Amino acid sequence: MTVVEFFGCTFLAFGPPFAMFVLTIAHDPVRIIILIAAAFFWLLSLLLSSMWWFIVIPLRKDLVFGVVFSVLFQEAFRFLIYKILRRAENGLKKITDDSVTLIENKHILAYVSGLGFGIISGAFSIINVAADAIGPGTMGLKSGTEMFFLTSAATSLCFILLHTFWSVIYFNAWDNNNRLQVGFVVISHIICSCLTLLNRYQVYSASLIPLYAMVILTGIIAFKTAGGSYSSFKNCILFK
């Protein structure tokens, strides 16, 4: 049963992102490189936030402090990867003719880097949980709740999607000097991250419902930011 739980939670967290990768990124080597580069930048933000947490000794036990500064470091490195990609656009044009669409549509760059951010973020958030899910026991027998693993997987999926949407909004905001959108991304990131602190009380609906409401809202904003409309969405659903 534990093995089934492990694969179930893993597929829940990474099934949709894997499909997104296969359908939209895997066919273009430049997109794969950008995705890996974005994941590396997220790792750098994790390293710096860990160092900051280690330096400020009196606040090591304050989870809110760690969460807020971790978000700020992530957003700083999102801005850094944005600046690098914008400066590298001319160079990317010379790599391959297949990447013309990637450069002409700047939202694709944001989408690819956002998915890279999200995948590595989700991997780090669930890898230890998934390792515990495989055995030798299962949560909920004597203490804890059996919903812990399922909730962790659903939360990881949520943040993978959010990072993808946030990057689309964030890149466009800096392109158009829209400080309101920049503020929305940073503040919503802090709020969503702080909502996960409610899981310590094992009232998982208190975090999952607002988180997925934010996914829907952010997804709609990102869709409109990328030039989407009701008619284009309808045509996509009807395969026109």
Arithmetic mean of pLDDT over the chain: 85
Q: Inform me whether the pLDDT recorded for 2 exceeds 80.
A: no
pLDDT tier, 129 (very low <50, low <70, confident <90, very high otherwise): confident
Predicted local confidence at residue 95, as pLDDT: 58
Predicted local confidence at residue 234, as pLDDT: 65
**3-state DSSP: the chain helix, strand, coil percent, rounded to 5?**
85, 0, 15
Instruction: Return the closest-CA partner of residue 17 out of 119, 149, 117, 114.
Output: 119
**pTM for the predicted model, two decimal places:** 0.89
Predicted local confidence at residue 195, as pLDDT: 93
Per residue in 192-227, pLDDT tens?
999 999 888 888 888 999 999 999 999 999 999 988
Q: What percent of the chain has pLDDT over 90?
A: 49
In whole angstroms, give the CA distance from residue 54 to residue 48. 10
pLDDT tier, 157 (very low <50, low <70, confident <90, very high otherwise): very high
Predicted local confidence at residue 240, as pLDDT: 59
In whole angstroms, give the CA distance from residue 206 to residue 147. 13
Predicted local confidence at residue 102, as pLDDT: 53
Predicted local confidence at residue 41, as pLDDT: 95
